Amino acid sequence: MDPLSVPAPPPPFDMAAVASSLPSLPGHPGLVRARADTSTGGPGGRMSPSVYNHKEVLSGGWAGRMSPSVYNHKLLAVSQGRSSPAYHDLGYHTLVARSAAASPWAELGYPGGAPANSARCPRDSPRPQLPEPPSSAELIMAFKGKRAHKSAPFDRVSDELILHIFSYLSTNELCYCARVCRRWYFLVWEPQLWTSITLTGETTGADRALRQIVKLLCRDNPGTLCHTVERVELNGCARLTDRGLSLLARRCPELRHLELRGCSQVGDQAVMDIVSHCPNLQHLDLTGCHRVRCLDLSQAGADHRLNLQYLDLTDCHNLTDDSLRVIARHCPQLQHLYMRRCEQLTDAGIRHVPSLCPGLREFSISDCSRVTDFSLRELARLGPTLRYLSVAKCDRVSDAGVAQVARSCYKLRYLNVRGCEAVSDAALELVARCCQRLRALDIGKCDVTDHGLKVLAQHCPNLKKLSVKSCEMISDAGVKYVAYYCRGLQQLNIQDSPVTLEGYRTVKKYCKRCIIEHTNPGFF
């Protein structure tokens, strides 16, 4: 059989069935018009192209309006009498696809198609409002690939409250906060937050740090003074030099508290700038500043007086008697003076302290091996004003000097004669009878016995701290007296002493809160 004589198959679907099923489709305007034109056989000018082509194919009308695939299929079926199974009528499928792709409802914010009642809406009904177009800033941020800034809850906090929170932070923490945002940067460098500056560490560039801090605090008025800075702690800053300290002295005239512990490169020139430019300075700690020799204020005038009340010159090995005399003359208001391990000091320099600093309350000359009983006799002139005295490891101090201090300084609270092997029970009994307000006593390695401890415990019941370290002549009996009479004892040192477990348990029994330092592993 000739394949061309095979009759063409019927259309893949009935358009009447398609038209009858259109009302169940979403109420798109194009579909409504297609349904009406299909049922009435209208002119077809209002049809979608695919539906109109189907109309022409079924009615045998003008083939020029068909889609190419449908038109070729019609010609092939009529002229050759057969159809190709590779081609199908795409009219209905094209209709659904195009309506979904080109639906104006999607552009109006209806991604799922037209609303349910759109088919019954009149043509003159108001259309839904289009969304607001993005702003220029949003477009620019989107173009640059950045997100628009969203306000954080912390942005609602007032500046006054943030400054109050920042006031509890240290210097390093404030510097970290300055890197968070622009607002925090300006708030961090408010002068009211910088009443205290603390820098530590051997690798810290203290000179540069001080220069930058002073510059930022005076950014509004360059060259002015930082009147808010009152306390500076530069402990352990081995890289601090006289240049950085002189800058601090010139720009912070209201400085009251300065600590320079372990700043080995600081010398006399920087200290002189500090004391001359900061008249309100009251606390000065120069512990470990080996290059400091004296507080020479000859350039400021012979009658220049400082308001220093606290001065610590511990480990200033170059300090001499003349230096101590100058310091005492220019600092008449001194109340706390510490010169531990100043080995060049002698009685000649110490004798100026009581006469030039009559208000001295605490004085320490520990490890000053050249000090003798003569210095203690001069210090006794301070009378009841003296509350703290340390002459530890002063080998030349004996009972005579301690007895003189005990008679005159009867309000003494702390006494340290550790390592003074010439001190015995005679001095200890006098101290116990005259200084009944004593709270702390260190008689380690002294020539004391149980009798001295008994007298001490009976006359000083308020004793809180006691050290009998390396006292070889005491026993459990003396420790028991102390434990029985001094019930409020908080710390007891019996290291390297012949106290046994019995004495240890007695102290634990009567002194409930006492911390006992010992070297016997059998104590428990």
Environment class of 271 (CB within 10 Å of its CB; exposed 0-12, middle 13-18, buried 19+)? buried
pLDDT (mean) for 405-409: 95
Say how many C-beta atoms besides its own lie within 10 A of residue 111's C-beta: 8
Please state the rounded mean pLDDT for residues 288-294. Answer: 88
- Check residue 49 and give its pLDDT: 46
If one compares 423 and 33, the residue with the highest pLDDT of the two is 423
Enclosing H/E stretch for 197: strand 196-198
The string of pLDDT tens digits covering residues 133-182 is: 767 766 666 666 656 566 777 788 899 999 999 999 999 899 999 998 88
Evaluate if residue 111 carries a pLDDT over 50: yes
Using only C-alpha atoms, the chain has a radius of gyration, in whole angstroms, of 49
Per-residue confidence (pLDDT) for residue 129, from 0 to 100:
66
Cα 440 to Cα 33, 321, 400, 432: the distances in Å are 108, 30, 21, 12
Task: Say if strands 440-442 and 362-364 run parallel, antiparallel, or are unpaired.
Answer: unpaired
pLDDT of residue 245: 92
Q: 162-193 burial string, b = 16+ CB within 10 Å, else e?
A: beeebeeeebeebeebbeeeeebeebbbeeeb
**Per-residue pLDDT band at 110 (split at 50, 70, 90):** low
Q: Is the pLDDT of residue 365 over 90?
A: yes
The pLDDT of residue 521: 81
pLDDT of residue 76: 39
> What pLDDT, on the 0 to 100 scale, is given for residue 305?
84
Answer with the residue of higher pLDDT: 154 or 192. Answer: 192
Structure confidence by residue, pLDDT tens digits, 461-483? 999 999 999 999 999 999 999 99
Predicted confidence (pLDDT) at residue 120 exceeds the cutoff of 80: no
**pLDDT-based confidence at 57, cuts 50/70/90?**
very low
Q: Percent of the chain having pLDDT more than 70?
A: 70
pLDDT at 412 over 90: yes
Higher pLDDT among residues 154 and 46, named by residue: 154
What tokens does 290 get?
A: 């080996």
Predicted pLDDT at 294 = 81
Q: Are 276 and 300 in contact (CB under 8 A)?
A: yes
pLDDT at residue 91 tops 70: no
Q: pTM for the complete prediction?
A: 0.69
CA distance 312 to 333: 14
- pLDDT greater than 60 at residue 11: no
Buried b / exposed e over 376-410, threshold 16 CB at 10 Å, is bbbbbbbeeebbbbbbbbbebbbbbbbbbbbebbb
Per-chain mean pLDDT for the chain: 80
- The secondary structure element, H or E, covering residue 347 is helix 347-350
Q: Which residues contact 507 (CB under 8 A, 6 or more apart)?
A: 479, 482, 483, 489, 492, 514, 516
Residue 480 or residue 52, greater confidence: 480
Q: Which residue has the higher pLDDT, 168 or 7?
A: 168
For position 202, what pLDDT does the model report? 85
Q: Is the pLDDT of residue 427 over 70?
A: yes
pLDDT for the residue numbered 126: 66
For 436-445, the pLDDT digits (tens) are 999 999 999 9
Work out the end-to-end distance of the chain between its first and last CA atoms, rounded to an integer number of angstroms: 120
| More reliable by pLDDT, 522 or 225 | 225
User: Residue 219: is its pLDDT beyond 90?
Assistant: no
- 336: pLDDT strictly greater than 70: yes
pLDDT confidence of residue 24: 46
pLDDT at 79: 41
pLDDT of residue 157: 86
pLDDT of residue 63 exceeding 50: no
pLDDT at 50: 46
Confidence of residue 128 (pLDDT cuts 50, 70, 90): low
pLDDT tens digits for range 221-280: 776 788 889 999 999 998 899 999 999 999 999 999 999 999 989 988 899 999 989 999
pLDDT bracket for residue 523 (50, 70, 90):
confident
- Split at pLDDT 50, 70, 90, the class of 15 is low
Q: Confidence band (pLDDT; 50, 70, 90) for 367? A: very high
Higher-confidence residue of 238 and 54: namely: 238
The pLDDT of residue 522 is 74
Domain coordinates of the chain in residue numbers? 3-119
CB 346, CB 370: distance < 8 Å:
yes
Average pLDDT over residues 381-399: 95
Best mean pLDDT range from 47-56, 74-83, 498-507: 498-507
Q: What is the pLDDT of residue 95?
A: 46
pLDDT reported for residue 33:
47
Closest residue by Cα to residue 435 from 371, 380, 364, 353: 380
Is residue 349's pLDDT more than 50?
A: yes
Give CA angle at 122 (116, 125), nearest 5°: 95
